[in-house]
Structure 1
């Protein structure tokens, strides 16, 4: 947790003021019982009203000053903690943005969301407490002991028994509760994952009538978290009653012993009253300290999870001095004996892949499910790095280019269309910041999206809901394609981006793309033979390996795998 405190540096002046104000407030609290003792011993006992009013007025001033210091400390500690949370949250988010797909796969999206929200909130809450209690609790405890001893040293022997007993109670309770706090954060991850799956997959859940099943899954995860929280709260709930019991027994003991000492004229009534207040302050300081023991373990678990993210080095790093782009190259792609395996996989996803794709050409990739099509095109924008061999763009290994430099050349349309909350125009303009309205409309027309956009109530200003839930799958794909087209890149990568389109729209879109991408390199991953038949080059993948490369006619003669795919989709008349 201490590693994260470096984010407090911009707020160090405020933190220093928090400590100063807390220190002054604590001194005020320690001074008040002594003033009250003086009022009783020298004012009430002697009937000196003037003294009572004078010291009483001074007590009010001291109390008011302590109250103002408390308010100032609370304000500054809250501002510092919230600023700290904002900086850590921003750092985590920006660091996660640099992760490759490998890191996302390892931690999981649900866990990253929990770490960025719940875990950082835990740290904020503990930070506010620590800034207040780190000074208050020890100063109140030590100061209270000193002041109590100054009132009556013999009566202070009560603390020799009480304080070790309280420390033992705190230790036993907190030691048992710490493992549950760590377990709770893991179970919050699980609950978030189940909730996220349930919300994003609501259409599938309803279509298969699995609402009851998903409700049971959520109830199970929620009950698991609830039971753990109840268990740890039961353990912690024992702490405060035990401490209050010890404190009340101590007060009774102080009164009994103090009464005897007053009877022997060894102690004054006012001093006994002050002693009881100092004893209460000592007990309460230990109770405040125990609250830190309750919160800090959970915050430590959260800090560990945040540090795990911040310490995780992306598998793919940008080089500091990228190689200069070679002239005469614009959109050339070359795979040279590329092999790639997913972490933990027993077999490579793709093996020994070699081919070239040039500007003005359409290269199609077809194959069965799990043959490695999406994996192959994912290596071009460096979602993953090749295990062996090299992927070259414009004559350079993609690992010798910065990710920004590389991806500026690529317009990528993913297999699963992703839209963001905002207007239709905003989603298309996401591909090119600052694209004009004319460029946005032109891209939509080429992507065959202008028809349904014009039918929407506000046209290009119509709002897209989160995840694009208010548009169909085919409309999502066309908007994703428009987003890539408005970028006007050197390389277009369509990863099974036409699967949700009907045959008529598919044909019209591919015809429109021809005139738009004449100078660009186009890679199309597809399941439909009709989508790839007219490509300049078709790469057939089978179990991660190249089964054949050529035109439709060439592959019909040379590739058995391609013939099987064609015969499964087209009739004999269409094949002929």
Structure 2
């Protein structure tokens, strides 16, 4: 885990290494200054020697300035290093997610990934800063101060050695009971983010069904769970403070009692040395407090680190082979005994024994009931998922032989739940081709029947689209996403039920425009409407992940029961509507 995380330090290694260096300089000064103060008391104040007081006072001033410089630089370098580390973590996690296949993304919830990139990274950042600063400073202070105490009077070191095991046991108990609670808290954070995300994305549905109180109750329950678990964890962690304060008071009392006896009885300790001992006591116990606080932060960050590393360790099975094919010759598609399972289990297949031979330039319609795996079938073509068994050929080559970017550039897909992004209409359409001219954008929009409504906007193609495309209708969004796909000028175009929100006439105009504008492109149209696919060169009828029928509209009307039933029900419904 540490190796994976530290690989993200990157260009901030210099700041990371300089932080302990400056911290060490600050520690040396902090340890030397009590000795100088002791000498000033014993040789200056006690003897009334003004020269000695000035000399040691000046030395204290210089040491204090140097300690301030080192402390300031150490804090600055630690802040830069930790912030840079967090920046690299977020960037690399995001980049990692971009390389995930659909199967990888299915393993993580959207809210879970968001929590990892925000709350979890912040926790790791805070722990990293404490490690390179506090966990360098505090142990050094502890070791050097104990050494100085032993140098002044070896017998007094026994006081600290008796207290340290007591503190160590207390800290171990805190970690043992608090860590499981922090794990539970961060899993609940995922649920909390999920509730918020769903509410904001579906706010129109929430309001239309008057479900605000239900959503408030759901949010309140999850929020209350976070509150209870986090409060309990913090109560356990708070046990550190009285434990440390007790140790400080015990040390101070014992030191005062034993030190006074050593001064009065045998004179083996001077007044200045006793004062320095009090300083060292505070340094030792404050260092223990800082170590304790650092361990608490590391305890919190440990859970976050595990969740972050889980993303880095997730390997995408959909990757390029060595020396991938960089050109897709045509849009022909072949399915050879294809089986697919989301669980990668041949006993849990959602597609079974699919065999197809689609010629380049053909228009293919796909129809079937809900859950018949129509979308799954077409998602295998651009390798959004990989087949569990069998093979898919595009342009005569197995899709696994192609460079992923090359393949997906030539297989343009309008998903069932496609989205628009924040930005102008023009910027959204250029997702299909970032170098597309204004003329190409308008031409694609005209084919997709999007140009008429775009021209009605005051800013036309410079109209801003709200996040998720909430300021355009479902039909308008579908037409814009079709135009976006057309700008790729693909060899294969897949429309996954992407005209279900437009009227029949517009649907017909879109299909006519596609036939005229991209005659050489293989087009796959998934639809629940027979009218949308009846003119196709080939129609595939799917039922429960298997091909139930294959042929033209006329052929299927003669020999396929499912197609007949769908056609008759839609014709009957249309007739009743007309009457």
Give the TM-score taking structure 2 as reference length.
0.96
Paired residues of 1:325 and 1:396 also in contact (CA < 8 A): no
SS at match of 2:550: strand
Alpha-carbon separation, structure 2, partners of 1:544 and 1:155: 80
Paired residues of 1:101 and 1:383 also in contact (CA < 8 A): yes
Q: Deviation at 1:39?
A: 1.7
Alpha-carbon separation, structure 2, partners of 1:42 and 1:455: 91
The residue that corresponds to 2:114 in the other structure is 113
Q: Deviation at 1:574?
A: 6.6
The residue that corresponds to 2:47 in the other structure is 46
The residue that corresponds to 1:551 in the other structure is 552
Structure 1: tracts of 5 or more residues without a match: none
CA distances 1:187-232 after superposition (whole Å, capped 9, x unpaired): 1112112221222122222222222222211111111111111011
Q: 1:274 aligns with which of 269, 276, 294?
A: 276
Aligned runs of 1:297-336 on 2, under 5 Å?
A: 297-323=299-325, 325=327, 329-336=329-336
Quick check: 1:438 aligned with 2:439? Answer: yes
Q: Deviation at 1:344?
A: 7.0
CA distances 1:439-490 after superposition (whole Å, capped 9, x unpaired): 1111111111112212223111111111111111111111100100111111
Paired residues of 1:22 and 1:132 also in contact (CA < 8 A): yes
Quick check: 1:343 aligned with 2:353? Answer: no
The residue that corresponds to 1:104 in the other structure is 105
Taking only aligned residues, the RMSD between alpha carbons, in angstroms, comes to 1.7
Q: Deviation at 1:324?
A: 6.7
Paired residues of 1:19 and 1:131 also in contact (CA < 8 A): yes
Aligned runs of 1:194-343 on 2, under 5 Å?
A: 194-264=195-265, 265-323=267-325, 325=327, 329-343=329-343
CA distances 1:205-264 after superposition (whole Å, capped 9, x unpaired): 222222222221111111111111101100111111221122112112211222222222
CA distances 1:356-377 after superposition (whole Å, capped 9, x unpaired): 2223321000111111110111
The residue that corresponds to 1:95 in the other structure is 96
Quick check: 1:60 aligned with 2:61? Answer: yes
CA distances 1:531-574 after superposition (whole Å, capped 9, x unpaired): 11111111111111111111111111111100111111113997
CA distances 1:401-454 after superposition (whole Å, capped 9, x unpaired): 121121121111000121111111010000111111111111111111112212
SS at match of 1:571: helix
Bigger CA drift: 1-10 or 554-563? 1-10
SS at match of 1:408: helix
CA shift in 2, pair 1:161/1:397, >3 Å: same
The residue that corresponds to 2:29 in the other structure is 28
Give the TM-score taking structure 1 as reference length.
0.96
Bigger CA drift: 346-355 or 181-190? 346-355
Paired residues of 2:331 and 2:361 also in contact (CA < 8 A): no
Alpha-carbon separation, structure 2, partners of 1:420 and 1:126: 35
Alpha-carbon separation, structure 2, partners of 1:124 and 1:218: 28
Q: Deviation at 1:378?
A: 0.7
Paired residues of 2:326 and 2:406 also in contact (CA < 8 A): no
The residue that corresponds to 2:390 in the other structure is 389
CA distances 1:468-516 after superposition (whole Å, capped 9, x unpaired): 1111111111110010011111111000000111122212212212111
Q: Deviation at 1:184?
A: 1.9
Alpha-carbon separation, structure 2, partners of 1:292 and 1:478: 55
Paired residues of 1:43 and 1:52 also in contact (CA < 8 A): yes
Q: Deviation at 1:285?
A: 0.8
Q: Deviation at 1:323?
A: 4.1
Aligned runs of 1:75-90 on 2, under 5 Å?
A: 75-90=76-91
Quick check: 1:534 aligned with 2:525? Answer: no
Alpha-carbon separation, structure 2, partners of 1:16 and 1:407: 44
Alpha-carbon separation, structure 2, partners of 1:480 and 1:325: 25
Q: How many residues align?
A: 573
Alpha-carbon separation, structure 2, partners of 1:298 and 1:477: 45
Q: Deviation at 1:9?
A: 4.8
Q: After TM superposition, which residue ranges in structure 1, 4 or more long, deviate above 6 angstroms?
A: 572-575
Alpha-carbon separation, structure 2, partners of 1:14 and 1:531: 62
Alpha-carbon separation, structure 2, partners of 1:48 and 1:504: 105
Paired residues of 1:496 and 1:527 also in contact (CA < 8 A): yes
Alpha-carbon separation, structure 1, partners of 2:297 and 2:550: 62
Q: Deviation at 1:157?
A: 2.2
Structure 2: tracts of 5 or more residues without a match: none
The residue that corresponds to 1:369 in the other structure is 370
